[in-house]
Structure formats: C-alpha cells, structure tokens
A and B are shown apart, each in its own frame.
Chain A
Amino acid sequence: MTPKVTVNIDGANIKTARGSSVLDAALEHGTCIPHLCRVPYIESIGACRLCIVEHVVNGWSKVTTSCTLLVQEGMVILSNTEKIRKLRRNVAELLVSQAPNSRAIQDIAVRCGVKEVRYPFRNSECVLCGRCVQLCPGTFGVKAIGFVGRGKDRRVESPFDIRSELCNECGSCTDLCPMTVVPCDGPMKTGEEYLCRNCESKMAFAEEQGICISCDFGEGFQCERSPQNF
C-alpha cells in the first residue's frame, strides 16, 4: 500500500497518498478547487493557473498552483482566501473573455465568482488549455498533436497542419475539449456541451445529471462534499 501523508487544506487534516498533488488530495476530500488544464492520471503542466492556492511555510504564504505541488507531511494549504479568490476571479475573467460561448468555461467563471467581464469579448476557437495535447495517446506514445509556435501564435496543430498518421482517431481530444473545435478534423461539437460538474475533466453525457460517464460509474473524482468525508 502507498504510504500516506497528512496535509492540512483549509483547516481540514487530510490523509492522502504520498506522491499525489495537492489538487488531487483536495478533490478527493471534496474541496473543490477550480481547474481547467488538469487531466486526471497525467502529470500536470500548470498552465491554466486556476487551481492556485496559498502554500504557508513558516508563516510566509506563497501563491502556487496546487496541481504541480506534491503533498508533503504537515503541509498547510489555504485554497479559499480573499487573495486567492480575487486572483482566481481575474484569471477566470481573462479566460471567459476569450471564449464567452463555451459552457465549460462559463461554468468555471461562475464558480470563480466572475460577475462582469471588463474586456472586449473575443471568440477564440481554442483557449490552449492543453488537455487534448496532454491526453493524446498517438501511436506508441508518440503524440499526434502538440503546441506549435509561441506567444500569441501558439496553437495546437499536427506537424505541417496535416492530420498526422500517428492519430488513431480515438477521440480523446474531442472528449476532453472545453471548446467547440478540436485541432484535427474530428467530429465538430455544437457548443452546447459542458464539462462534468464533478470531475471537470470530461464532457457530461446527460444534461439532467450533468456528470460524465466515469463519474456516473463512480470512477471519477467526486467533488461534492458528501457526509462520509467528514
């Protein structure tokens, strides 16, 4: 069995497996830290910066992403302070101004407390969260898509913008995309989709329940505070 460590998140002492990230520990426990770029079971890249928390060391707090921070014995984490809420709201505002029509991004923005968007809306096709790139299994571990270019030219593409022979059409990229368009010529989505409200990792499969198949089978990351956690 994996050795356990105890971390303190927002005042609650949580026992969790060594080697897991603070975000995973929090989600497992039922503390919902908003996040976008994280894909379960895959090492996080820390790109969306929504899952920021305050990591308190010797009375000093440092703002860092919880998805890249590994749990350590006795760690103290604050995920819902005034400062964090404000920063998170500003980051979510940037995201939603870029993709106002995505239900998934809208959901996240609402959860982060965005009430108004102070920037002109842009309808980007992609917010470069990188979920598709992270998950793409490609062939023999060689990805079919990746980030190309840099700065404002950064985009998700196959080499030379031609569908790569490495793509095995598994559809994982479309499944995880919070937007309406995917980088390959895969099935286009209508824009009405949104992510599972539990795991925020996959598309919800039924409007009424609002959760994805994995969560329905009890395999996902239950994010709601349920009595057995306390």
Chain B
Amino acid sequence: MTKINTVKDLKALRKRLLKERKKIRATLVLCGGTGCQASRCQDVTDAVKNELAKQGLKRSVCVRTTGCHGFCEQGPLMVIEPGNIFYCHILPDDAHEIVTKTILDGEVVERLLYTDPVSGKLIQTESEIPFYRAQDRYLLAQNRQVDPCSIEDYIAIGGYSAFTKALFEIPPESVVREIKDSGLRGRGGGGFPTGRKWAECQKAPGDEKYVICNADEGDPGAYMDRCLLEGNPHLVLEGMMIGAWAIGAQQGYVYVRNEYPLAVKHARMAVDQARKIGLLSDKILGSSFSFDIDIARGGGSFVCGESTALMASLEGKVGEPRPKDVHTVVDGLWHKPTTLNNVETWANVPSIILNGSSWFASKGSKGSKGTKILALTGHIKNTGLVEVAMDTTINTVVFDIGGGGSNGNSIKAVQTGGPSGGCLPADKFDLPVDFDVLAKAGSMVGSGGMVVMDQETCMVDVAKYFLTFLQDESCGKCVPCRMGIDRMLEIITDITEGNGTSWQIGLLEELGSTVSQTALCGLGKTAANPVLSTLRYFRDEYEAHIHAKKCPAGVCQALVTYKVDAEKCTCCGICKRGCPHGAIVGKKKQVHAINLDLCQKCGICKSECDFEAIQVK
C-alpha cells in the first residue's frame, strides 16, 4: 500500500482504481454478513472462486465479499454486476451454473431468482424486489459496493473525500453548523441533536478531547451497527475523523461488543489500513491536524451502552454509570471533553458534509431528519435490515417491506426500541418512525429494533422477558433500578403464574413511574417502558391472566395444559422422541397421550409435531 501525502495523491489513487475497475468484465457481489455466514455463504464463495479459476476467469471476473445486504432471510445472496441480477438461497453446487450461464452466456438462472410471494412472479433485479423497492437505502446501499477489508474499494467509491473536504475547505465551526443545520439526531436511542452535542464539546475548555464511537450494540433484536461496522468500517472511521476535526480531538475510540468478532476484526483492519495509507497519523495529509483511533472490545454488558458507563469501561473500570450533573461533552473520558456517538450517527456524517445539510434535511419529518436503519425481525415474512426515511409509517415497514405476518398470521403488535422501548398495537401502525411521535405513543425509535409479534405472543410474557433481561443487565448500583425492576418482575411473575390480583396492576404502574423518574441512568429511567406500554395498550391481557387465570396466547406455562388431539395424531412418535422429560406415552400405531404429572409444559412436543396434533389450552 503506497502512502498518501497530499489530497492530490488521494485523487490520483482514486482515478487509478477506477481505471483498473473498468477492465473487469463482471463482478459477483456476495453477501458475507453474519446472517449469510450463518447460512454458509463461505462455502458458496469458495465454490464460486474455484469455478472461476477452473474456467480461467480469475482475472476478468471479480468476486467481492461484502457486508450485509439486509435481506438476511433469503441468504446466501449474490448480486451480479453489471445488470444487478439478484440470486438468493444459493448453494455451493450452483456455482458452476452461475458462472457458465450468467457470466459466460449472459443468461439468467431462473431457479435462483427471488419469487414475489404476492404475485408469484420471478424478479430479476434487486431494485424490483418489494423488500428493497419501498426503502430509501443510502447507508446500506454502500455496503454492497465495498469489500470491508479493502480501503481501496472505499476510496474508489469516493471515500474519504468528505474528510479531506472538511479538513482543507471547511473550518471546524462551519462543520458543526452544517451538522446542526442538517437536523441529525443521535441514532443510538435518545435522539439527542448531534450538532448541539458537537457544539458544546467544541466550546468546552481543554486541549485534550476525545471522540468515541459506541458500537456496543447491546439491544437485543437490533444489529444495524454490527452491519455497518462489519460491512463498511471506513465510513464510520471517516465520520469520526470529521467529528474529531470539528471538535478538536486527537484521539478516538471505537467501543465494539466482543460478541461481534467479525466487526472487531474489520474495524481493526480498517484502522490499520488507514494508518498505513496515512489517513490516521500526525499532521494528516500535510495539514496541522493529527488524529488516531483505537479499537476497544466491550466486556458484554448492556449498561455499557450508556455513555458514562461506556467511558468507565474504556478506562478499564467497571461499567457503572455515574450521575450526569455535568455532561460528558465537558467531563467525559478521563475527565476530558468527549463526544460520543453511535455507529449509525457517525456513518451519516460524511454524506452530510459531502452533499450539504439541506440534502439531508430534505428527507424525513419535521423533527427527525434523514433515514433510519431498522432491524425487522420476529413473526414477519421478510426479516432483515431496512433503511427508510424517518417519516415512513410502521404500516409501510411491516406490510410493504416486511410482507406481513409469517405463516399468514395476523400481526398483533410491534415492539420498537428494544428494552427501553415499548409495544405498539396494530391500530397505531399509521404512526411514522419519528423520534417524537413514537415517544409520545409510549415507545421509542431507540436504536431501531423492530420486533413484530403475532397472535401467538403473550404481551405479559413479553413484558416479563424484558424485565428479566433488564434485571440481568442492570449494574445494580441504584435502588430504584435494582430493587424496582426486581419487584416489578416479582409482580409480573405472580400474574403469569395465575397468582395475580387486580390491585397489583395499579402498583405496577406506580412503581414503574417511580423507577423511571428516580433511577440514576438511562437504562433505569426507561426500564419500566415495556411494562407501562403493554399495560397501556394490552391491559385486557393482564386482566385475563388475573381474573380468568388464562393466557390468551397460550404462552404462560402455569396457565396452560398440553393435550394430544386424538383425531389429528398420526402416531408418528416424533413428539415422544423429542420430549426431554419422558412425559409422552403411547406405543407404535397408537394415539399418543401426555402424562400431565411429568409434563413440564416446555412446548417442545408442539414445535416438533408436523400435524398440529398437540393442543394448548
């Protein structure tokens, strides 16, 4: 890798790279995100590479393994350029056909195309697929264009030009004003105006300042930060470099969750490359600005997503939040002014600098500008990462992009914002994905997790799930969070076990509001949201548990019994083999029965039975 010394060098390198690319006949873009890796995409990549070598196409056809494309449900995925032909569910054995037919003969392999579940038609290109069509992909679209392990790829598509523009043409004050004008708000959960944060940090006294990228995505059900850092780490680094220039920081940190080994690897590689090429160094490209970035691995703690806890963790201490009477922009990491932003926030910065604040502000709603990446998961047909403008309604996301409920079930609710967010019922789906609107409705955009739930989900159980999660993840420092969550969980457990009384609902509400007003940090302050929002919209389910001692969705173990439907049972014996408690009796060719004394109501038999012969009442 040759070192770049001036902006001119960078431009020359970009020109050379683009020229080299023109020589390539076709590019096979393979998704190598974690989702597709779980679907064995590595085998496909190897098979394709072997096939190309066999046919002597190694030089003229380029194979690019990229970060996540978003449509994880259909993995492994491949897009063939030129033509943007989209193949899904590829197996290693398909490599031969893809290479001979599509690359050499220019024909499309029909059986690998995506079938529109509504019309039943085959769809050839990515942009025509309903899942992609209804989105406004700006950040995610770049994932497809770069190999995350190659800085050349990023430079070729115009990477680091926003940083050089800021460094040589825009003074720090104007950078901050640009970000302020764009209306960008923090994507990590709170939605705090990024420009205001930067301005305060810029003004804070002191020569030593820090920028931090929060990639400790502890939110269960959200993985957009992982996808960005894995798929396009240089974009995040460039955002941080612009931020550092604006506030006057000399050192940056990326705090990555250790559960994301690929993200750690790619981020480290990206920093190494940027150092080698001369974009992270002393006096970058001959300017007076010096900056470096280090990668720190998180220790696995949800509360470290809170800024003060994250900074404590970076200092090598226990990740306990501290009171924020003085903000971290003044008194942050090692008591120095610190700007901390989420991965997605940083990733938005380069395009704002490059295209201007008005371009960014033209997307989205009045209070929430730009696009947001959502992780669409749960009981829905098309799961994956979705990027939409921040005035898109939940309806559009769930039905147009997500394709509606899986198995044809009707959708009951959607949980947004992770453990700090809330559940919204189907009649609120006309609300846009907007920070203020969702907060008013008792939920939040949060980091962008969107878990869709159908009739088979018990909302009391969901509230219980989140409380269990929070009890596990609370640092335990302050009384309302430690004891309050514990007591709320105790009450909800009572309710799900049929021991609830009606006055406990009032107690839950009172306790919930006490915890949210008195807890020390953001985790505690929002901990009651899952309970309060389900109480607000699904009170009837709580009442059914308390008065009728019934779980309408058939989830809460203490309130249901399992039975074999003798008419549907085909005596196959799968349930008997599957039951870990030996509670199923019955000989071959004889209708099986459940021994209720031994039955632990784990539900494994029901999930194993192919004939819906196990009933839950």
The chain A residues found within 8 Å of chain B, CB to CB, are: 45-50, 52, 63-65, 68-70, 86-87, 90-91, 94-95, 97-98, 118-120, 127-128, 147, 149-154
Per-residue interface assignment for chain B, residues 476 to 502, with 1 indicating a CB less than 8 Å from any chain A CB and 0 otherwise: 111110111011001000000000000
B517:A151 contact, CB within 8 angstroms: no
Task: Give 26 CB contacts A-B under 8 Å.
Answer: A45-B322, A45-B477, A46-B478, A48-B478, A52-B518, A64-B323, A68-B325, A69-B325, A87-B517, A90-B511, A91-B480, A95-B479, A97-B483, A97-B487, A128-B482, A147-B476, A150-B318, A150-B473, A150-B474, A150-B476, A151-B473, A151-B476, A151-B482, A152-B474, A154-B475, A154-B477
- Write out the residue numbers on chain B whose beta carbons fall within 8 Å of the beta carbon of A63: 517-518
Q: Once the chains bind, are B517 and A94 in contact (CB under 8 Å)?
A: no
Q: List, in ascending order, chain A residues with CB within 8 A of B474's CB.
A: 150-152
Whether the pair B482, A87 counts as a contact (CB closer than 8 A) is no
B520 CB–A CB distance under 8 Å: yes
Q: Are B301 and A87 in contact (CB under 8 A)?
A: no
Q: Is A152 a contact of B471 with CB atoms below 8 Å?
A: yes
Contacts A46-B322, A94-B483, A150-B475 known; 17 new A-B pairs at CB < 8 A: A45-B477, A49-B480, A49-B520, A65-B520, A87-B518, A90-B511, A91-B514, A91-B518, A95-B483, A118-B507, A120-B490, A147-B318, A150-B473, A151-B475, A151-B476, A151-B482, A152-B474
Binding site for A on B (CB under 8 A): 301, 303, 318, 322-323, 325, 471-480, 482-484, 486-487, 490, 507, 510-511, 514, 517-520
In the complex, what's the smallest C-beta–C-beta distance from B525 to chain A, in angstroms?
10
Contact, CB under 8 Å: B484 / A94 = yes
* Interface pair A94/B479, CB less than 8 Å apart: yes
Give A184 Cβ to nearest chain B Cβ, in Å. 20
Q: Give CA–CA (A50, B479) in the complex, Å.
A: 9
- Shortest B474–chain A CB gap in Å is 5
> Chain B residues with Cβ under 8 A from A149's Cβ?
476
Residues of B within 8 A of A69 (CB): 325
Q: How many angstroms from the CA of A68 to the CA of B323 in the assembled complex?
A: 7
Is B471 a contact partner of A98 (Cβ separation < 8 A)? no
Q: Which residues of the partner chain B approach A120 to less than 8 Å between Cβ atoms?
A: 490
The answer to whether A90 touches B472, judged by C-beta atoms less than 8 angstroms apart, is no
The answer to whether B514 and A90 have CB atoms under 8 Å apart is yes
Identify the 5 closest CB pairs spanning chains A and B, nearest first.
A154-B476, A68-B323, A90-B514, A94-B483, A46-B323
Q: Is the CB of B477 within 8 A of A47?
A: yes
The smallest C-beta distance from B465 to any residue of chain A, in angstroms, reads: 16
Q: Which residues of B contact A65 (CB under 8 A)?
A: 323, 520
| Distance between Cα atoms of A127 and B490 in the complex (Å) | 18
Closest residue on chain A to residue B507 by CB atoms: A118
**Chain B min CB distance to A74 (Å):** 16
Q: Considering the chains assembled together, what is the distance between the CA atoms of A114 and B292 in angstroms? A: 55
Which residues of chain B are near A97, meaning CB under 8 Å?
483, 487
Determine how close the nearest CB of chain A comes to the CB of B307; give it in whole angstroms. Answer: 16
Q: How far is the CA of A46 from the CA of B322 in the complex (A)?
A: 8
CB proximity of B398 to chain A, nearest CB, Å: 33
Closest Cβ–Cβ distance, residue A144 to chain B (whole Å): 17
**CB-defined contacts of B486 to chain A, threshold 8 Å:** 152
A95 → B minimal CB distance (Å): 6
* A153 CA / B475 CA spacing, docked (Å): 9
Residue of A nearest to B321 (CB): A46
Contacts of A147 in B (CB 8 A): 318, 476-477
A200 to chain B, nearest CB (A): 16
Closest to B326 in A: A70
Question: Distance (Å) between the CB of A59 and the closest chain B CB?
Answer: 18
CA A70 – CA B476 in complex, angstroms? 24
Distance in angstroms from B466 CB to nearest chain A CB is 14
Question: Distance (Å) between the CB of B315 and the closest chain A CB?
Answer: 16
Task: Return the contact of A151 from the options B472, B480, B487, B514 (Cβ within 8 A).
Answer: B472
Establish whether residues B520 and A47, one from each chain, have CB atoms under 8 Å apart when the complex forms: yes
Q: How far is the CA of A95 from the CA of B325 in the complex (A)?
A: 25
- Which residue among A50, A97, A120, A150 has the maximum number of chain B CB atoms within 10 Å of its CB? A150
CA distance A69 to B476 in the complex (A): 21
State in angstroms the CA–CA spacing of A95 and B487 once bound together: 11
Chain B residue with Cβ nearest A90 = B514
Residue in A closest to B524 when the chains form the complex, CB atoms:
A49
A119 contact set on B, CB distance < 8 A: 487, 490
Q: Taking CB as reference atom, which chain A residue is nearest B484? A: A94
Tell me, in angstroms, the Cα distance from A120 to B491 when the chains sit together. Answer: 10
Assess the A49–B479 pair: CB atoms within 8 A: yes
CA distance A212 to B303 in the complex (A): 38
Bound Cα distance from A65 to B477, whole angstroms:
14
Q: How far is the CA of A91 from the CA of B487 in the complex (A)?
A: 12
Complex-state Cα separation, A219 to B71, whole angstroms = 69
A150 touches B301 (CB 8 A): yes
Find the A residue at minimum CB distance from B486: A152
| Contact B475 A91, beta carbon cutoff 8 Å | no
Give bound CA distance, A195 to B511, whole Å: 27
Chain B min CB distance to A223 (Å): 21
Minimum CB distance partner of B319 in chain A: A150
